[in-house]
A and B are shown apart, each in its own frame.
Chain A
Amino acid sequence: MYHALADAIRDAEASGKTLAQVALEAESRDQGRPVAEIRDALGRALVIMRGAVSRGLTGDLYSASGLVGGDAAKLRTGPAGPMSGTPFRDVLARALAVQEVNAAMGVIVAAPTAGGAGVLPAVLTGLADARGLGDDAVIDALATAGLIGAVVAQRASLSGAEGGCQAETGAAAGMAAGAGTEMLGGSPSQAGHAVALAQQGTLGLVCDPLGGLVELPCVFRNATGAAIAMAAIEMALAGITFAIPADEVIDTMGEIGRSMDVRYRETAGGGLAATPTGRRLARERLFQIKRSGG
Chain B
Amino acid sequence: MVSLLDIIGPVMVGPSSSHTAGACRLGLLARCLVGGTPERARVELHGSFARTGEGHGTDKAIVGGLMGFRPDDERIRDALGIAEREALDYRFEKTTLGEENEVHPNTVRITVERGDRSAVMVGSSLGAGRVLVTEIDGYPVEVTGSYHTIVLVAEDIPGSVARIATILSEDGINIATLRLTRKGRGGDAFMVIEVDEQPDEKVRADIRTLPWVRWAFRLDKVSA
Known A158-B128, A212-B51, A286-B54: A109·B8 in contact at CB below 8 Å: yes
A252-294 Cβ-contact flags toward B at 8 Å (1 or 0) = 0000000000000000100000000000000001100110011
**Is residue A107 within 8 Å, beta carbon to beta carbon, of the partner chain?**
yes
- Cβ < 8 Å to A, chain B residues 30-86: 48, 51-52, 54-57, 59-60, 72, 74, 76-77, 80
Known A108-B12, A153-B7: A113·B55 in contact at CB below 8 Å: no
CA distance A105 to B3 in the complex (A): 26
CA distance A162 to B55 in the complex (A): 21
List chain B residues, Cβ under 8 A from A154: 2
B108-130 Cβ-contact flags toward A at 8 Å (1 or 0) = 00000000000000000001110
B11 touches A214 (CB 8 A): no
Q: Which of B2, B3, B128 gathers most chain A CB within 10 Å?
A: B2
Known A63-B15, A102-B14, A114-B14: A289·B2 in contact at CB below 8 Å: no
CA distance A154 to B18 in the complex (A): 19
Interface of A is mostly: helix
**Is residue B162 within 8 Å, beta carbon to beta carbon, of the partner chain?**
no
Query: How many whole Å from A133's CB to the nearest CB in chain B?
Result: 18
Contact partner of A107 (CB less than 8 A), chosen from B3, B18, B72, B80, is B72
Query: How many whole Å from A245's CB to the nearest CB in chain B?
Result: 20
List chain B residues, Cβ under 8 A from A146: 4-5, 7-8
Query: How many whole Å from A208's CB to the nearest CB in chain B?
Result: 13
Contact partner of B14 (CB less than 8 A), chosen from A101, A211, A289, A290, is A101
CA distance A48 to B74 in the complex (A): 13
Give the residue name and chain of the A residue nearest to B55 (CB).
Answer: A213
Give the residue name and chain of the B residue nearest to A26 (CB).
Answer: B4
A179-218 Cβ-contact flags toward B at 8 Å (1 or 0) = 0000000000000000000000000000000011111000
**Is residue B16 within 8 Å, beta carbon to beta carbon, of the partner chain?**
yes
**Is residue B20 within 8 Å, beta carbon to beta carbon, of the partner chain?**
yes
Query: How many whole Å from B106's CB to the nearest CB in chain A?
Result: 9
CA distance A219 to B196 in the complex (A): 39
Query: How many whole Å from A166's CB to the nearest CB in chain B?
Result: 16
Give the residue name and chain of the B residue nearest to A51 (CB).
Answer: B11
**Is residue B28 within 8 Å, beta carbon to beta carbon, of the partner chain?**
no
A114 touches B21 (CB 8 A): yes
List chain A residues, Cβ under 8 A from B9: 41, 45, 109-111
Known A113-B128, A286-B54: A108·B14 in contact at CB below 8 Å: yes
**Is residue A150 within 8 Å, beta carbon to beta carbon, of the partner chain?**
yes
List 28 A–B pairs whose Cβ atoms lie within 8 Å, in order of A's numbering.
Answer: A1-B4, A41-B9, A42-B5, A42-B8, A45-B9, A48-B11, A63-B15, A102-B15, A105-B14, A105-B76, A105-B77, A110-B128, A111-B8, A111-B9, A112-B7, A114-B21, A115-B16, A146-B4, A150-B4, A150-B6, A158-B128, A159-B128, A161-B18, A162-B127, A213-B55, A213-B56, A294-B54, A294-B59
